[in-house]
Amino acid sequence: WQERGAAVGVRRETDASGRTVVRQVKKGVRDFSFGRILGEGSYSSVYLATDRQTLKEYAIKVLEKRHIIKEKKIKYVNIEKDTLNRLTEHPGIVRLYYTFQDQNSLYYVLDLCSGGELLGVLKKTGTFDVECTRFYSAQILDAISYMHSRGVIHRDLKPENVLLDDQMNIKITDFGTAKLLQDPREARRQMERGILDPSRGDEDDDGRAASFVGTAEYVSPELLTHKNACKASDLWAFGCIVYQLLVGRPPFKAGSEYLTFQKIVHLEYEFPQGFPLAARDLVERLLVLDPSRRLTIEHIKNHEFFDGQAFGKTLWRTKAPRLR
Ligand SMILES: NC(=O)c1nn(CC2CCNCC2)c2c1CCc1cnc(N=C3C=CCC=C3)nc1-2
């Protein structure tokens, strides 16, 4: 596992003559003091941590080498790292600052999102009003747009993976199951064909096809029927999230994963009384079984539901609306 990309950090200092000197610094586990656990996955734990020198707080994801090898997850680990190294310039994506390792573990030093999960806030308020739904959906869409422009498909978008920073802006996380388009030519071919060629990310460590399926309530019908993810699969999940912010629960939920999958492939969902009409039109044009017929990101940004909503830099400078 090569410490590529963010293996070193950069520190700006002022020398005796007052000039700014940029020094490359190599961080290690001893440079941080580790605090509480923020979350645990099947082969990683995420800790709150503080840089002993700068006192800046981070989230550090610790992956146990022995477990990764035993569970044949080396590909997933490298896909997450390559993905995070690709997605470095967007306020809506958790940023990777450093990576390093010791004898037993790999370490990713990431943005801390002190606001926790968007889902946690939604559970407290029950539902979001239209203004909050529009603002947070716009931020999620802006982040998806950047991801797709860099040839990354998340494949497991859900409110649990949408975190909130100290300004209550969103940051998308957990790219361990992302799919990377190898190059823009492939990305264009994928867009034209509406499906994704088998590229990196769907074989296990022995090269056997290991088709990944996301979280039941947000998985797209094409992943369930053809085993193929495409950029439009993230927009299906986006449609589920918009619905959930306004209703308080996802559109497709049943007593078991199998029954949830049945609801998805048969498009069995309903809008409760009073569901806002513009939002309903948007969700209906996203929850479309044929991925090639779903709204594209540009069409979504121009949809009536987002009338008056800024995207791009303005969106991230706007103060988040009070959640209610
Ligand atoms: N899997 C990850 O990469 C990851 N997991 N977490 C914690 C999870 C807790 C359960 N829901 C999904 C996230 C994080 C990250 C990235 C980096 C990251 C940055 N900040 C936080 N912050 C949290 C603060 C309070 C509660 C949970 C998370 N968490 C993470």
The answer to whether 288 and 229 are in contact (CB under 8 A) is no
Instruction: Encode pLDDT of 117-144 as tens digits.
Output: 999 999 999 999 999 999 999 999 999 9
Distance 19 CA to ligand 1 centre (A): 38
**Which atom of ligand 1 is closest in space to residue 113's alpha carbon?**
20
- List the residue whose alpha carbon is closest to atom 26 of ligand 1: 116
User: Sorting pLDDT into bands at 50, 70 and 90, what band is 207?
Assistant: low
Catalytically active residues, by annotation: 156
* Residues 103-111, mean pLDDT to the nearest whole number: 95
Q: Is 94 in the pocket of ligand 1 (CB under 6 A)?
A: yes
pLDDT at 196 exceeding the cut of 50:
no
Distance 48 CA to ligand 1 centre (A): 9
pTM exceeds 0.90, yes or no: no
pLDDT at 11 exceeding the cut of 70:
no
Distance 110 CA to ligand 1 centre (A): 10
* Better-predicted residue by pLDDT, 11 or 102: 102
pLDDT at 15 exceeding the cut of 90:
no
Q: Which of 145-149, 209-213, 254-258, 309-313 has the lowest mean pLDDT?
A: 209-213
* Better-predicted residue by pLDDT, 99 or 209: 99
- List the residue whose alpha carbon is closest to atom 10 of ligand 1: 39
Q: Is 38 in the pocket of ligand 1 (CB under 6 A)?
A: yes
- List the residue whose alpha carbon is closest to atom 21 of ligand 1: 113
User: Sorting pLDDT into bands at 50, 70 and 90, what band is 190?
Assistant: low
Distances from the Cα of 308 to the Cα of 145, 238, 304, angstroms: 19, 20, 9
Instruction: Encode pLDDT of 29-72 as tens digits.
Output: 999 999 999 999 888 999 999 999 999 999 999 999 999 999 88
Q: Is 61 in the pocket of ligand 1 (CB under 6 A)?
A: yes
ipTM exceeding cut-off 0.95 for this assembly: yes
Q: Is 164 in the pocket of ligand 1 (CB under 6 A)?
A: no
What is the pLDDT, as a whole number, of residue 197? 44
Q: Is 96 in the pocket of ligand 1 (CB under 6 A)?
A: no
Alpha-carbon span 121 to 186, nearest angstrom: 38
What is the pLDDT, as a whole number, of residue 5? 41
Distance 39 CA to ligand 1 centre (A): 6
In the chain, the percentage of residues whose pLDDT exceeds 70 is 87
* Residues 192-220, mean pLDDT to the nearest whole number: 64
